[in-house]
Amino acid sequence: MLSVEDNEILTRTGPGTLMGTLLRRYWIPALLSSELPRPDGPPVRLTLLGERLVAFRDSEGKVGLVEEACPHRLASLYFGRNEEGGLRCVYHGWKFDRHGRCLDMPSEPPESNFKDKVRLTAYPCEERGGVVWTYMGPPEKRPPLPELEWALVPPEHRYITRRIQECNYFQALEGGIDSSHVSFLHRGDLHGLNVPSSSLSNDFLLRDTAPRFEVEPVEHGLLIAARRQAGPGQVYWRITQFLMPWYTMVPPFADAPRGGHAWVPMDDEHCWTWSIDWHPLRPLSEEELNTLKGGYGIHMDLIPGTLRPVQNRDNDYLIDRERQASGLSFSGIKGVAAEDQALQESQGPIVDRSRERLGTSDAGIIAARRLMLKAARQLAQGDENLPGLRPESQRVRAASLVLPEGVPFVEGAREALVSRPDVFVAAP
């Protein structure tokens, strides 16, 4: 369980909060580059960390991210004209560039210098790996761009989606580091993860449903290792990566694409769920892409024209009770992502962690909470040594492998946990 006070700190991310101040020290995946396909194209609404923003690609092809409300009469700049190097409010014609500077104020007399005194809040943006990244913290504290493996591989090696999830970011993140639930919630649905039929992982997961957990603090966050018996004298390890402040990497299955997430707060009761599949060494196959785009695995079908999933709380995630009763699916819900989202949203917009009864399988979740709370409090006390900011520390992979009994997972999985183009350790 977590105290009410600590739960408030963990889940509140708006301006001025302890956690919100911490999260603003990291680069944030804001939107897909493809959502702003051309210069001077339509702007996109975006809420991040409780702030209502508008993104646009200006005439030079550079992305701007500014507060949504025009400072004149607070009308939405989403309705603005994106033209000639800036976004022009259609209410009275005030125009702003991607840096938040007012370029034109046609409703004021020509001799007025008022436009030079007005600025929008604007956040710097960079593009890498098909993603627009933004930094919302103090300009002088801006770290280097992240070097996560999926953002550095060639475009044909990855598939990325983002969607709205209707709950606090941290209960979604907790699902991403919980290796125990795979043996139950996702039983029968691992085909959606492109797991080859030759993989032994499914057998290991079903055979041992009570893994023992070991957690290892590292510079970027945590290694969360689930230990299952794989046979006489052998141990099956599934090692999840938690990278500060919201990234998780799913332990792989054989040579299937790697999976990962970013759980980014929209506001305190909604988050952006980023889902990424990638392969370090090869392009994703047509069959793999068709599976991912079909709403299986860690991706979901979206309502056309929106970022809300077709399977959602309003339709009970299209649960099929007959399929559940037949044993074809443990949950009766189609797809790993929908199963996760259904259970995470069912906890409520912000789960009351003071009511929990945690067990030994929750060791990773407990460690992640402590890490986030410690970092937020340290920053509030002036300690700038935050975990996970150095790009070198982000060059890691999740791993799953069989090791002899008695071999520590950190030693036996050392090569598998490294992101290097010349190293690839396939899971069983």
Chain-centroid distance of CA 86 in Å reads 30
The reported pLDDT for the residue numbered 133 is 98
Q: What amino acid occupies position 137?
A: G
Max alpha carbon distance in the chain (Å)?
86
28-134 has which CATH code?
2.102.10.10
Beta strands in 49-130 (DSSP E): 51-57, 63-67, 81-83, 86-88, 95-96, 102-104, 122-123, 125-128
**CA dist., res. 82 & res. 36, Å (int):** 12
DSSP 335: S
Q: When comparing pLDDT for 191 and 328, which is higher?
A: 328
- What Cα–Cα distance (Å) separates residue 405 from each residue in 67, 202, 213, 239, 408? 55, 20, 15, 16, 9
The reported pLDDT for the residue numbered 327 is 81
The reported pLDDT for the residue numbered 3 is 94
Average pLDDT of span 71-97? 97
Average pLDDT of span 133-152? 97
Q: Which class for 230: exposed (0-12), middle (13-18), buried (19 or more C-beta within 10 A)?
A: buried
149-412 has which CATH code?
3.90.380.10
Residue 200 pLDDT more than 70?
Answer: no
Place 43 in a pLDDT band, splitting at 50, 70 and 90: very high
- CB 310 within 8 Å of CB 294: no
**CA dist., res. 78 & res. 82, Å (int):** 10
Average pLDDT of span 198-204? 66
Its pTM surpasses 0.95: no
Average pLDDT of span 38-64? 98
136 φ/ψ angles, rounded to the nearest 5 degrees: -110, 10
**pLDDT tens per residue across span 313-367:** 999 999 999 988 888 888 889 888 999 999 999 999 999 999 999 888 889 999 9
Average pLDDT of span 200-224? 83
Locate tokens 């070991």: which residue? Answer: 214
Place 191 in a pLDDT band, splitting at 50, 70 and 90: low
Place 300 in a pLDDT band, splitting at 50, 70 and 90: very high
The reported pLDDT for the residue numbered 391 is 95
Average pLDDT of span 123-148? 97
- What Cα–Cα distance (Å) separates residue 398 from each residue in 139, 373, 395? 32, 24, 11
Q: Which class for 218: exposed (0-12), middle (13-18), buried (19 or more C-beta within 10 A)?
A: middle
**pLDDT tens per residue across span 364-404:** 999 999 999 999 999 999 999 999 999 999 999 999 999 99
- CB 170 within 8 Å of CB 11: yes
Place 188 in a pLDDT band, splitting at 50, 70 and 90: low
**CA dist., res. 229 & res. 204, Å (int):** 7
Average pLDDT of span 234-251? 95
350 φ/ψ angles, rounded to the nearest 5 degrees: -135, 110
Q: What amino acid occupies position 66?
A: V
Sequence ranges of the domains in the chain: 28-134, 149-412
Locate tokens 């210098």: which residue? Answer: 113
User: Mean pLDDT across the chain, nearest whole number?
Assistant: 92
